[in-house]
Amino acid sequence: MTCVALAFSGGLDTTVCVPLLEEEYGYDDVIGVTVDVGQPAEEFDEAEETAEALGLDHYVVDARAEFAQLCLESVRANATYQGYPLGTALARPVIADAILEVAEEQDCTGIAHGCTGKGNDQLRFEAVWRSSDLEVIAPVRELGLTREWEKEYAAEKDLPVEGGSGGDWSIDTNIWSRSVEGDDLEDPNYVPSTEIYAWTEDPSDETEEIEISFENGYPVAVDGQEYEPVALIEHLNELAGSYGVGRTDMMEDRMLGLKVRENYEHPGATTLLSAHEALEGLVLTQEERQFKTQIDQQWSQKGYEGLIDAPLVSALESFIDETQQRVTGTVTIRFEGGQARPVARDSKFAAYSAEHASFDTETVGKIKQEDATGVAKYHGFQRRLANEAIAANADAEAVELATDGSGTGDDQ
């Protein structure tokens, strides 16, 4: 008897995969695995009801704590991709690991997902699964299915698929972000209504200030109250979302080269990333900040690709760990006009002296202001030499053209 484990959400794509894995791929048994990374409760209800209607053995794995910890690691790396926090990308390896573990426990010979051949998730899932001996199956990709075909097939088979906007849009939710794509949103010139948003209110004139505490680069408390990672993120999602923080409407470049229209909500992530970067600005030296930008970009790229366990990431995190030992302190964030804006920061590791930087003091420690005169004289010296050489050669060429007459007369 052959068995395949399916990444199961109860949505259209994964629902149609169940009979297809039996009919087209010859599997005797299909089990569904849903991994909890912070989806709404109704999604689990839908998955359970759909699995029951399909007669599908259904396993639910709670991976919220693991995923939340990875999200906080991404804060230390200031991780974004083309301007938005990595939510779906970071969740996929966590989900893939959990599904693989169930598949191996249940002696499955195959493991499957409902991703298309156009997106990123197929790559992120399979990067994890192909390290195993299980057969990797992607019915939607391999059979070239479209969403319209899936709807017709579901109707023909009387599959338990809910209608409404959930059947038109592709919505992915976890504790770090919520993404919405598909249907009218595929048109870059389409202006979506506010009904696509679930986590964020429209920005208003109301403001609020909160204080976020960090220890070694990890956010640990809000307004002095300590939180575990999951609770911290959920608290900030609700609070920042009420002020309209964390909406992104963008054209995203996927790994396969396609450009797609994406809408994201990420209020808590935006707040934490803004606060963390502000604290780094206070405690890290100029050279550390400049170099860490490169480290962060590489970490973010690997995170986007779903390759967070790559040896390169371990090497990058060695540098990140070293710098984060001083990223301890507090940042005051003001929610204002849909933004989470840092307005104050404090740390015992501050690489800053108010006395030295002040316009009201004459010296910088033992350094006098007039000591900067020599530096000012040298500053731009090569530029001045280069510009003088360019100007001198331009004048010489003008004289030569005037002397030989090549610069005058009618065109030949």
Binding residue ranges for ATP: 7-15, 114
Contact 88, 174 (CB under 8 A): yes
Which position among 36, 64, 76, 92 bears the catalytic label?
92
- Using left for φ > 0, alpha for ψ between -120 and 50, and beta otherwise, residue 223 falls in left
Look up residue 88 and give its two tokens.
């779906």
Active site residue 170: yes
Active site residue 92: yes
CA distance 207 to 301: 34
Which position among 74, 170, 213, 300 bears the catalytic label?
170
Handedness of CA 264, 266, 269, 273 (dihedral sign): positive
- Could you list the residues known to form a binding site for L-citrulline, using ranges: 84, 120, 124, 170, 179, 252, 264
Handedness of CA 125, 127, 131, 136 (dihedral sign): positive
Look up residue 383 and give its two tokens.
């530029």
Nearest to 183 by CA among 171, 194, 173: 171
Q: What is the dihedral of CA 88, 94, 100, 103, to 10 degrees?
A: -80
Active site residue 318: no
Spatial neighbors of 34 by CB under 8 A, at least 6 apart, are: 8, 9, 10, 44, 47, 58, 59, 60, 61
- Could you list the residues known to form a binding site, using ranges: 7-15, 84, 114, 116, 120-121, 124, 170, 179, 252, 264
Nearest to 276 by CA among 239, 315, 208, 328: 328
Which position among 36, 121, 172, 296 bears the catalytic label?
121
Nearest to 210 by CA among 202, 219, 218: 219
Instruction: List active site positions.
Output: 13, 92, 121, 170
